[in-house]
Each structure stands twice: as C-alpha cells, then as structure tokens.
Amino acid sequence: MSKTNTKERTKVVTKTERPRLHKVILINDDYTPREFVVTVLKAEFCMNEEHAYHVMMTAHRRGACVVAVFTKDVAETKATRATEAGRAKGYPLLFTTEPEE
C-alpha cells in the first residue's frame, strides 16, 4: 500500500530590501558667502550653476534645504567633505545627513 506524502514543505522566500537612503541637508548661516556655497555645491554634488544657486537660495530663505539623497556612506562622506571645504576657509558652512522616511 503506498502512502501519500503528507510532509510539510517549507518554501524559503528571500526578500531583498533596498538600503535606506539618506538625505544631505544644507543648513543656512549668516557668514558663508553665497557664491562660496554655490561653488561647494557644484564641486561636491556635481550640480550646474542654476541648480546650485537654487538650492543655496532655498537654504538661505528657509533655513535648510535637501541637497540630494544617497546611500548612508556616500551621504556622510559628501556632507563631511562639503562641511570641511567651508571650515578650510574659516566659514561655518554646515551639511548634515538624516535617513529618509
């Protein structure tokens, strides 16, 4: 007499989650020259003049502006490099990072 195979089978489903992206945020201050902020945005975030000017003016008017989103490592590296560029000139220019919702 043959028996029906009643053994349970476990299906393994692998879900690959995308890494969470992190925002780089430009913070306004009263001392860093506008043109210098634009120069840093162009150099570190590969922006053209028009885009960099728009981001700088948004931070200037609202207090802060999201520059771009990257993986955590890239966001932190770019924020640090851009902040260091200001510090090297004696400016309080600040870029921060935070995870996207």
Query: Taking contact as CB under 6 A, which single stretch among the options 8-16, 41-49, 53-61, 67-75 is the one that binds ligand TYC?
Result: 53-61
Q: How many residues bind ligand TYC (CB under 6 A)?
A: 13
Query: Taking contact as CB under 6 A, which single stretch among the options 3-11, 22-30, 45-53, 66-74 is the one that binds ligand TYC?
Result: 22-30
Element (H, E) at 72: helix 72-88
Rounded distance between C-alpha atoms, residue 61 and residue 55, angstroms: 10
Going by C-beta distance under 8 Å and a sequence separation of 6 or more, which residues neighbour residue 49?
A: 38, 42
List interacting residues with ligand TYC (CB under 6 A). Answer: 26-30, 32-34, 37, 56, 59-60, 93
